[in-house]
Structure 1
Amino acid sequence: MAPVSKSKSSSKSEPSGNRRRQKMQRALHAMEQKKNADNEDKIVQLHDMLQKKDEELAALTKQQLDSLDVDMDDLDEPEGEKDAEESKDRKSTKKPKKAIVRSIENPDGGEDSEDNGGLFVSDHETDSDSDSDSDSNSAAFSDAEYGKALYTFPGTKPVKDVKTVGWSGGRFTGYINMYGKKSAARYRLGRFAFPADYEDSQPKHEKVSNPNNRYGDELLDNGKFKYTKRHIRGIFGVAWKGSGVGVSRDDLDCINPDIVQNWRNSPTYVLIAWDIDGEIKKTWETRACLRDRWGKKDADIAIYEAAVEAEGRYMEAKIGKRLAKSRSPSVGLAQGHVRKHREKSLGIKRSSPFRSTPTTRASKSPQPETKTLEELREEFLNDYLELLGAEDFADLPWSEKRECMAAWREEKSLYPAGAAM
Structure 2
Amino acid sequence: MAPSTKPVPSGQKRRAKMQKRLHTLQQKENADNKELITQLQEALKKKDEELASLTAEQMETLDVEMGDDDSGEPESPSVSDEDTAENKKGKKKATEDGKKKNKRSKEVIFDSIESQDASEDEEDGIFVKESEREPDSDSDSDHGFDDDSDYGSDADSGVFIDSDRDKALYTPPGTMPGKDVKSVGWSGGRSTRYINMYGKKSGARYRLEGLAFPLEYEDSRPENEQVSNPNNRYGDELSASGKPKYTRRHIRGIFGVAWKAAGPRVSRHDLECINPEFVDNWRDVPTYVLIAWDINGEIQKTWETRACLRKRWGKKDADIAIYEAAVEAEDRYVQVKTGRRPAKSRSPSVGLAQGHVRKQREKSLGTNRLSPSRSARMTRTSRSPQRGTKALEELRQEFLSNYLELLGVEDFTDLDTSERRDCVNAWKEEKALQFPA
Q: Give the alignment's TM-score, normalised by structure 1.
A: 0.70
1:59 CA drift (Å): 7.5
Q: Deviations over 1:48-75 (max 9, x none)?
A: x99xx89x89877744424498449999
Which of 372, 381, 384 is equivalent to 2:403? Answer: 384
- The equivalent residue for 2:213 is 194
- The equivalent residue for 1:219 is 238
Change (3 A) 1:409 1:63: same
- The equivalent residue for 2:300 is 281
- The equivalent residue for 2:91 is none
- The equivalent residue for 2:421 is 402
Change (3 A) 1:192 1:133: farther
Q: Deviations over 1:74-129 (max 9, x none)?
A: 99999xxxx7xx57xx27x955x76x767xx64462xxxxxx4xxx34425x778x
The one-letter code matched in structure 2 to 1:134 is S
1:402 CA drift (Å): 2.0
1:221 CA drift (Å): 2.5
Indicate whether 1:135 and 2:150 are aligned: yes
Instruction: Supply the distance in 2 between the matched residues of 1:407 and 1:336 (Cα, whole angstroms).
Output: 10
- The equivalent residue for 2:260 is 241
Instruction: Supply the distance in 1 between the matched residues of 2:414 and 2:117 (Cα, whole angstroms).
Output: 100
CA contact (8 A) 2:254 2:352 kept: yes
- The equivalent residue for 1:311 is 330
Alignment of 1:362-373 (within 5 A): 367-370=375-378, 372=388, 373=392
Q: Deviations over 1:166-218 (max 9, x none)?
A: 10011442111111111211111111111111111101011000000000001
Alignment of 1:20-39 (within 5 A): none
Instruction: Supply the distance in 1 between the matched residues of 2:175 and 2:207 (Cα, whole angstroms).
Output: 18
Aligned length: 357
CA contact (8 A) 1:384 1:404 kept: yes
The one-letter code matched in structure 2 to 1:389 is G
Unpaired stretches in structure 1, ≥5 consecutive residues: 31-45, 110-115, 352-358
CA contact (8 A) 1:271 1:284 kept: yes
1:137 CA drift (Å): 2.0
Which of 197, 203, 207 is equivalent to 1:184? Answer: 203
Q: Deviations over 1:270-317 (max 9, x none)?
A: 001111111111100000000111111111000000000111111111
- The equivalent residue for 1:166 is 185
CA contact (8 A) 1:154 1:192 kept: no
Unpaired stretches in structure 2, ≥5 consecutive residues: 25-43, 65-98, 382-387
CA contact (8 A) 2:7 2:63 kept: no
The higher radius of gyration belongs to 2
Instruction: Supply the distance in 2 between the matched residues of 1:383 and 1:201 (Cα, whole angstroms).
Output: 36
Instruction: Supply the distance in 2 between the matched residues of 1:268 and 1:234 (Cα, whole angstroms).
Output: 17
Indicate whether 1:16 and 2:10 are aligned: yes
Change (3 A) 1:279 1:61: closer
Change (3 A) 1:218 1:65: same
How large is the RMSD of aligned CA atoms in angstroms? 4.4
Instruction: Supply the distance in 1 between the matched residues of 2:343 and 2:22 (Cα, whole angstroms).
Output: 86
Q: Give the alignment's TM-score, normalised by structure 2.
A: 0.68
